[in-house]
């Protein structure tokens, strides 16, 4: 049985809650109530942060009350109501199929982070959960995540957004919570050339899809009035970001909205920002001496090892897990294998390149020989046609007399073998 079942109180009084959420979910598309979003955020973070793998998690009413700073009795009511609706909820997200991973034959070629080389962008459509149960007497909700969601949680370390949960407590709208997460992810991006602040530009339907209202607000002005304007107002009042929306038109039709993000948080908070697409995953961490990519590989090996220990019935507590992580980082777990695969892929690429070059040179040589023969034939024909008529006749007759014995010999041999064919040979000028 996992630590989650044995230790339901992951969120406790006086402990700051740091959320780690996969960028695939931060930039995904879905519609939830504020309470559903809070519950899923806490549950996803709990499963990832404790690092035991799997797809089952418990959230107690006490945990939910502590995290959201609400009365525990009210938390019971919220969880009970949420349990009734959550199983029908769905989400959309994007994931990358890494060309290099596919090339080296890795079993899992997919990535949450955008690969540096060739990749294919895929759309995922899935339910949040496979099963939900609420135990009223004990006051907890049990969630069994869908396979797709569990997979994204497992790969969170590749590209994630980190933020303090308490900053979202006073955000009352689901749409505001969504945009706050997006701001946390994009605030550290490089501003466009000549601009002071980073921005996010999407067509109107992409924004509607992001907020989970693709089938609502047929009029763009209604979308602005009931979603964008109140969301911008609420985040600006919260104080961490100063946001503005600009619109682009073709004629009188609004086609795009651009979100401009002025990050007003302290520099310390910015330094402790999430890994995202704007950060080079090859940047070396000054503490561990590993890049983000390397740390993600090590963390995955740690998670796999802990799952292996628990499958044998061994209990892995927080202290044990910490020691495993420290040893894994010190010993660079998984990195030798990773770089062997990369070197193998590079060797295969060079071999293919050399083979292609050899085939190219052979083809060029064949073409050159063919052109040489054609030139010689053309030269001989031109020479022959310049000869007097009687000389041409003499040469043809001589060639005929020379070739005829060979044709007769071939014919006799064919007759003897029972495979003769009729030959009609004539020479004329």
Q: By C-alpha distance, which of 80, 37, 20 is closest to 173?
A: 37
Specify the pTM.
Answer: 0.62
* Regions in the chain scoring below 70 on pLDDT: 1-8, 266-289, 406-408, 410-429
pLDDT at 69: 93
Q: By C-alpha distance, which of 327, 343, 337, 326 is closest to 297?
A: 337
User: What is the length of the chain?
Assistant: 429
pLDDT at 377: 85
Distances (CA, A) of 91 to 27, 148, 211, 380: 11, 10, 11, 76
pLDDT at 256: 95
pLDDT at 413: 66
Q: By C-alpha distance, which of 93, 259, 270, 296 is closest to 184?
A: 270
**Around Cβ 40, how many Cβ atoms within 10 Å?**
24
One DSSP character per residue, 93-153 reads EEEEEEHHHHHTT-S--EESSPPSS-EEEEEEEEESEEEEEEETTTTEEEEEE-HHHHHHH
Question: 90 - beta bridge partners?
Answer: 127
pLDDT at 422: 45
pLDDT at 280: 54
Helix axes 34-50, 61-68, angle to 10 degrees: 110
Burial of 130 (C-beta count, 10 Å sphere; 0-12/13-18/19+): middle
pLDDT at 222: 95
| Measured distance CA(143)–CA(134) in Å, rounded | 9
In order of their start, the domains of the chain are 1-163 (1.10.10.10), 170-279 (1.10.10.10), 390-429 (no CATH)
| Measured distance CA(407)–CA(36) in Å, rounded | 92
| Measured distance CA(387)–CA(338) in Å, rounded | 74
């Amino acid at each position: 049985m996992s630590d989650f079942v044995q230790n339901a109180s992951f969120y406790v009084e006086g402990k700051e809650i740091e959320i780690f959420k996969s960028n695939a979910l931060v930039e995904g598309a879905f519609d939830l109530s504020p309470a559903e979003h809070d519950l899923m955020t806490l549950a996803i973070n709990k499963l990832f942060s404790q690092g035991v793998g799997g797809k089952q998690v418990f959230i107690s009413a006490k945990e939910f009350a502590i995290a959201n700073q609400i009365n525990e009795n009210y938390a019971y009511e919220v969880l009970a109501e949420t349990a009734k609706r959550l199983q029908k909820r769905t989400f959309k997200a994007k994931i990358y199929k890494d060309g290099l991973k596919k090339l080296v034959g890795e079993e899992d070629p997919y990535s949450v982070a955008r690969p540096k080389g060739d990749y294919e962008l895929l759309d995922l459509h899935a339910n949040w959960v496979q099963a939900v149960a609420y135990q009223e007497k004990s006051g907890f909700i049990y969630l069994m995540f869908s396979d797709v969601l569990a997979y994204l949680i497992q790969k969170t370390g590749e590209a994630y957004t980190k933020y303090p949960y308490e900053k979202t407590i006073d955000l009352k709208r689901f749409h505001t919570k969504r945009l706050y997460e997006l701001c946390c992810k994009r605030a550290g991006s490089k501003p466009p050339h000549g601009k002071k602040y980073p921005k996010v530009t999407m067509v109107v339907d992409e924004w509607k899809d992001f907020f989970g209202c693709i089938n609502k607000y047929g009029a763009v002005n209604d979308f602005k009035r009931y979603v964008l304007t109140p969301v911008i107002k609420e985040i600006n009042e919260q104080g961490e970001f100063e946001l503005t929306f600009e619109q682009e038109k073709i004629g009188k039709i609004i086609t795009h909205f651009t979100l401009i993000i002025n990050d007003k948080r302290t520099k310390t908070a910015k330094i402790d920002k999430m890994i995202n697409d704007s950060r080079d995953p090859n940047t070396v961490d000054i503490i561990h001496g590993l890049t983000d990519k390397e740390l993600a590989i090590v963390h995955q090996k740690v998670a796999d090892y802990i799952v292996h220990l628990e499958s044998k019935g061994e209990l892995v507590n927080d202290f044990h897990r910490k020691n495993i992580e420290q040893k894994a980082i010190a010993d660079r777990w998984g990195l030798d294998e990773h770089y062997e695969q990369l070197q193998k892929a590079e060797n295969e690429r060079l071999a293919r390149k050399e083979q292609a070059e050899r085939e190219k040179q052979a083809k060029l040589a064949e073409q050159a020989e063919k052109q040489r023969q054609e030139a010689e034939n053309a030269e001989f024909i031109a020479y022959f046609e310049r000869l007097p008529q009687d000389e041409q006749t003499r040469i043809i007759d001589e060639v005929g007399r020379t070739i005829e014995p060979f044709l007769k010999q071939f014919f006799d041999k064919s007759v003897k073998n029972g495979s003769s064919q009729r030959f009609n040979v004539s020479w004329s000028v």
